[in-house]
Chain A
Amino acid sequence: MLRQPDRSTSARLALAAMGLSALVACSSQSPSSTGGGQGDATSPASGAPAGADATSATSAASASASASAEVSASASASASASASASSAAPGTATSTAQALAVTVTGKQVKPAPTTVDLPVGQTLTLTVTSDHDDQLHAHGFEIEKNVKAGTPVAIVLKGAKPGVYQVEMHHPQLTLLSVAVR
């Protein structure tokens, strides 16, 4: 007597779950342009030296090009940290690169940490200048570098596995930015 209603409860729940999964599966196939909002817009990275110390020659060239070329105002505050070269360097056919310079003063990070989009296969050249000796660590990219006070250090992050990864300094523990590889 009691089992009958139970079955209908389960059936209703199962139906609801199945319907939802179908709906979501459909919606996530569509381009998620509304999802990020960050990172696509461009803005001035702080100064031209971005990319000067970069270890990879090709990305250094396109990165510094982008940093000087793209000085348009940013529409979105959250995007203020990224400088995209996708439109600035029409000469480079396939490889597109971004550059970003970050300055650490004590516990302050400039520009303020944000999430930067990095498409799979593209690179982000990150230049870090700190007022104290520290250790730079890009999680997920397996990059660790010692930073000497006042000397800019550049690392090249290449988007590989999709996910969000944080770039940190360790003394004190500071998150400089999150990189969203998609």
Chain B
Amino acid sequence: MVAAPLASLAPALPTTLPALLLPAHGVGSRQDLPLPFAAVVLGAAAALVVSFVALGALWHEPRLGRDSGIPLPRWAAAVLDSRVVRGGAVVLTLALTAWTLASLVLGRDDANNPVPYVVYVWLWVGLAAISLVLGPVWSVLNPIRWLHRGLTALARLDPDTALTDWSPGYWPAALGLFAFTWLELVAPDRTTLPVLRVAIGAYVLANLLGALVLGTRWFPRGDAFEVWSRLYGSLSPLGRRSDRRWVLRTPVHGANAIPVDRGLLATVAVMLGGTAYDGFSSEPRWYTWVQSSSLPSGLLQTGGLLLMSVVVAALLQVAALASARLARVPARGLAGQFAPSLVPIAAGYLVAHYWSLWVYEGQNTLARLSDPLGTGADLLGTAHLTPDATLIQPTLVATLQVVAIVTGHVLGVVLAHERAVTLFDRRVAVLGQLPLLVLMVAYTCGGLYLLFSS
């Protein structure tokens, strides 16, 4: 959990400070109660039944076309495309970025500094949440895109100027997401300003460099946060048809249109593996072993995080290999073709895992933003905001967790089915997707188990 990083601010605090001065200090360390066992069994059973029913009952010809969806009314499409709405959102994002950077550079390095909250709660979890609802918003808002645009304008360069035609695919994003996950879950002192200054500085530099080498086509596949927003945003009910018209569509329509490129499997594996590791790391047997080992705990945690991601990717490779055998098609590239079907599974687990943090610490972030420089100011009038706990009641959270995980699973199964009937011969399509189905049931049960055990 981000719990640990936020909590690690504690040593910086004088222990004599009265609690009154520290509103909500330490609440970052709250984790959800374990899922009731009955809910786990129910969720796993539902996943299993739905999977095999889907196998027989779903369509036999590809059906999730790029031309489908219910067109939005003209006025709604006009609002979504309006320069005022888009420009306003960009200005707001850039202002928030500047505000946060001021706090990063000039603020006080204590538990009330908003920067770690903005980075770990709003940027990481919040961006995924907004993207799930509205689509890949970061491709419009991304401050680095605007910085790049400004710099190239100053230098009188075409922003699309590239030094090479070569494309690394999604690999830079996979590495970037891994680096961020490592920062969030493993890095020592990850909520302190010196560490965040280095991390944010390195992120800006790396992406500017990427954009200088590859031009603006760097961003959709290279920028970790843009890929994060695009992949989760593909599940949004809002999307564009192939004729660019705004439509309402199912999450599987969007996810089916994710462009497959090298590194996609690695990216999805890091997304799923990172969230899984976050849950796994609060499992008592794991942290007991890590903290009492003679090896440095950071090394073991890094190993655990890496292993989770590698296992997610390797299992998909094995399942794809088995599928290729059963469906008698070449195995090459097949795992990448099925990688998009892990996106809804990752999204389901993300919602289950981060819902409480987003709801609760999201409000705390707003409170802290009101005093960016640690001067006791209340510039936004939100400094004394007390987070509302209505949306994180244990029963509600447990219900939401199981529904999110099982929904993600169902969407993943439907997507894999669509891929199977697209790629495999009709007679072997059912047989061919069996290994993938088994894998998804395993991922889903694994996710439920993590929510139960830690």
Chain A interface (Cβ within 8 Å of chain B)?
Answer: 2-3, 5-7, 9-10, 13, 16-17, 20-21, 23-25, 27-30, 32, 34-36, 78, 107-109, 112-115, 135, 137, 139-142, 144-146, 161-166, 168, 170-175, 178, 180, 182
Least Cβ distance of A122 to chain B in Å? 15
Distance between Cα atoms of A140 and B25 in the complex (Å): 8
Query: Does B37 touch A at the CB level, under 8 Å?
Result: yes
Give 7 CB contacts A-B under 8 Å: A9-B63, A24-B402, A28-B398, A35-B38, A109-B291, A166-B29, A175-B287
User: Which DSSP category, helix, strand, loop or mixed, fits chain B's interface?
Assistant: helix
Name which residue of chain A comes closest to B291, CB basis: A174
Contact of B42 among A24, A78, A144 (CB under 8 A): A24
A16 and B284 contact, CB distance less than 8 A? no
Beyond contacts A27-B38, A163-B30, A170-B10: 8 other A-B pairs, Cβ-Cβ < 8 A, are: A112-B288, A140-B30, A142-B19, A162-B394, A166-B282, A168-B7, A171-B11, A180-B34
B419, CB-defined interface residue at 8 Å: no
- Which chain B residues numbered 195 to 254 have a C-beta less than 8 Å away from chain A? 249-250, 252-253
Q: When the two chains form the complex, which single residue of B63, B287, B414 contacts A13, counting CB atoms closer than 8 Å?
A: B414
A141 to B287, CA, bound (A): 21
The yes or no answer to B68 lying at the interface (CB within 8 A) is yes
8 pairs of A and B residues whose beta carbons are closest in the complex:
A139-B29, A32-B36, A34-B37, A35-B36, A164-B31, A163-B30, A6-B68, A24-B402
Q: CB within 8 Å of A: which residues of B?
A: 3-4, 7-8, 10-11, 13, 15, 19, 22, 25-39, 42-43, 46, 50, 59, 63-65, 67-70, 249-250, 252-253, 282, 284, 287-288, 291-293, 297, 356, 389, 393-395, 398-399, 402-403, 406-407, 410-411, 414, 452
Q: Which residues of B contact A109 (CB under 8 A)?
A: 288, 291-292
Q: Please report the number of residue pairs spanning A and B whose Cβ atoms sit closer than 8 angstroms.
A: 163
* B38 in contact with A144 (CB, 8 Å): no
Residues in B with CB closer than 8 Å to A107 are 291-293
Nearest neighbor of A169 in chain B, beta-carbon distance: B291
Select one of A3, A114, A139, A146 contacting B7, CB under 8 A: A139
List the A side residues contacting B398 at CB < 8 Å. 24, 28
Contacts of A140 in B (CB 8 A): 26-27, 29-30
Is the CB–CB distance between A17 and B403 below 8 Å?
Answer: yes
Q: Which residues of A contact B414 (CB under 8 A)?
A: 9, 13
Distance in angstroms from A156 CB to nearest chain B CB is: 15
Q: Which of A13, A112, A139, A178 has the most CB of B within 10 A?
A: A139
A114 to B288: give the CA distance in the assembly, Å: 9
Contact of A113 among B27, B65, B288, B406 (CB under 8 A): B288
Residue on B with the closest CB to A136?
Answer: B15
A34–B297 contact, CB under 8 A?
no
Evaluate whether A6 and B38 lie within 8 angstroms (CB atoms) in the complex, with A13-B414, A28-B399 already known.
no
